[in-house]
Structure 1
């Protein structure tokens, strides 16, 4: 399932890339983990690719994908250090954006985040944001959330839990 979603995302953005016009964006983000994941990770960073079509006035709809990773914390223990694992996702989402004027905008992405590690399932992905448009670059602040379902066996039964990989941060996107 993960490979199918990833292949579909690559195909969509390959087609869009060949027709890249003013709605194509390539960006990067940096954030601080919050919620359930902040005890195990120290930083959220990644790359974003999106394409928006103007629907009417200042309202745009589009698609987005990319790569986001939460870097694992290192822990000091007697006799050494334990290195934490990174937790990474490939979000595939619909994106909406409303511009109040030529500079200020609000937006939101909603979709599914495919986990790149086998031990973790993907989950519902959501990212509201607010930003400012310069000539060719958008700067924005965001909250990102990924609802993750995990199953594990405690020896007697299989237990399913839901956690949230969340972060708050800033990003920039270059508009082509």
Structure 2
């Protein structure tokens, strides 16, 4: 607790907590049975250079089955990633971010997981951003993912 308080007390004014939401379309293996997804994201980034920030990212994404598959008992799939995040700002308005880590996937009492990756391009305006991202998870030789359109707000910037 003392270490966490010291870390938060030493944070630069440029660092910040970011909350966001997104809508997505499943691609790859997921697109067969799932029609869309919604999610929420949270991250904390620290500046390490003038235009480069690193930090931690997490969130919650739910993939909803297509209506014709609900009759067969297909349930929502949920994804909770825990990832390291790196963001490079090319200009004050445009950035690229990559999150890499582990994604915990679960559905109806079953759980699994795998390597999580999420590249994102964002347009910033004030403390807000609109972003386009790909969110994927690779496990056991296969991969699943979605293309997402999102909005995020940065606190402390």
State the TM bucket, normalised to the shorter chain: 0.7 to 0.9
Pick from 138, 145, 154 the counterpart of residue 129 of structure 2: 138
2: CA distance, partners of 1:40 / 1:99: 36
SS of the equivalent of 2:20 reads strand
> Is the counterpart of residue 85 in structure 1 residue 75 in structure 2?
yes
Structure 1 CA distance, aligned partners of 2:138 and 2:83? 14
RMSD of aligned residue pairs (Cα, Å): 2.2
What does the per-residue CA deviation read over 1:120-162, in whole Å, with 9 as the maximum and x for residues that have no partner? 411110000111111121111011111134xxxxxxxxxxxx4
Query: Could you give the per-residue CA deviations for residues 68-122 of structure 1, whole angstroms, max 9, x where no partner exists?
Result: 1111122179xxx445311101100000000011100011000001123342411
SS of alignment partner, residue 124 of structure 1: strand
Q: Distance in 1 between matches of 2:46 and 2:150?
A: 21
Q: Which runs of 4+ in 1 moved over 4 A?
A: 19-22
Report what 2:114 is aligned to: 123
Q: For residue 33 of structure 1, what is the aligned residue in structure 2?
A: 26
1:95 and 2:77 equivalent? no
How many residues align structurally? Answer: 146
**Bigger mean CA offset, 33-42 vs 82-91:** 82-91
Corresponding residue of 2:53: 60
For structure 2, the 5+ residue unaligned runs are none
Instruction: Evaluate the alpha carbon distance shift between residue 39 and residue 20 of structure 1 in structure 2; reply closer, same or farther with a 3 A threshold.
Output: farther
Matched residue of 2:75: which SS?
coil
TM-score by length of 2: 0.84
Provide structure 1 residue ranges, at least 5 long, that are not aligned to the other structure. Answer: 1-11, 150-161
Residue of structure 2 aligned with 1:168, choices 134, 147, 151: 147
Query: Are the structure 2 counterparts of residues 133 and 84 from structure 1 closer, same or farther at C-alpha, using a change threshold of 3 Å?
Result: same
